[in-house]
Structures are given as structure tokens and as C-alpha cells.
Amino acid sequence: MIRLLFALLALTLTVPATAQDMLPPAPYAYRQLPDSAQEAKAQALMETLRCLKCQSQSIADSDAPMAGDMRHQVRTRIAAGEEPEHIRQWLIERYGDYVSYTPQVKPITWPLFAAPLVFLALAALLLRGRFRRRAETPVEGSGE
């Protein structure tokens, strides 16, 4: 016990609090879950979470220590039987919407989800306009 305390003390003394990057990576940062179904679930979730320290990379694609810590979190929580969407919500509470590559449906993102509908409507209008005009003025010389 005393040895452990000493070890902890040594750690806090030698490693400045800001140098989090110097700590060894958490166990599941670079290790897969033994159960392949769980690992697949974790992988799918990690691919949709943003690495907050990188430029446009998911935590599944990053060497950054913070991404490693987040991978560890995701894998341990998946192994404990937590649902992926629940983990996502937990991370969003901690880091904000920015962490999720899947935009959350909220008033601020409504335009984002409206965009495909608007474009589909525009496309339909454009095509309809073109082809209806065709129907009214049949192609000259058409034999049908």
C-alpha cells in the first residue's frame, strides 16, 4: 500500500499536470475489444466522433492522445454494455455538439436537414418545368 502511494506521489511529482500528453495511453486506446461484435459497434461509433485536437479527423483516425483517451472511453463503455447513442449523448454533454459528426436534430441544425428536401424539390421543379414544356410543344417530326 505504501509502495503504491509512493508510486502515485512520484507520478504526480514527475509529470506536470499540463503534460497530459506524456502519460502512457489508456489501455483501450490502441487495443481492440476481444468480442468482435462489440469492437465493430465501438468502431462504428468512433468513426462518427470528432477528434477535438485534430483537423477533420474522427477519433478512429487519429494519433492525438486525446483521441486515444476517447477511444478508451468508448471501448470500455461498449464493453460494459452501454448503447452507442447513449455514449454519444454523454460525450456531447461533456464536449458539446462539436464532438459528434452526426449532426444532432436541433433548431440550429434544421436547415441542414431541410437542405436535401429543398434541393429535391428544386430538382423536381426544374425537371418538371423542362419536360412539361416539351409535352406542350412536341418535338417536330415525331412520328408517334
**How many amino acids of this chain bind another protein (CB under 8 A)?**
47
Nearest to 48 by CA among 93, 100, 85: 100
* Helix, strand, coil abundance in the chain, percent, nearest 5: 65, 5, 35
110 binds another protein (CB under 8 A): no
Q: Which parts of 17-76 interact with another protein (CB under 8 A)?
A: 24-25, 30-32, 40, 43, 47-48, 50, 55-58, 60-63
14/10 Cα distance (integer angstroms): 6
- In the complex, least distance from residue 131 CB atom to another protein, rounded to whole angstroms: 5
Q: Is 58 helix (H, G, I), strand (E, B) or coil?
A: strand
Q: Give the range of 2-10, 13-21, 76-84, 100-108 binding another protein by CB under 8 A.
A: 100-108
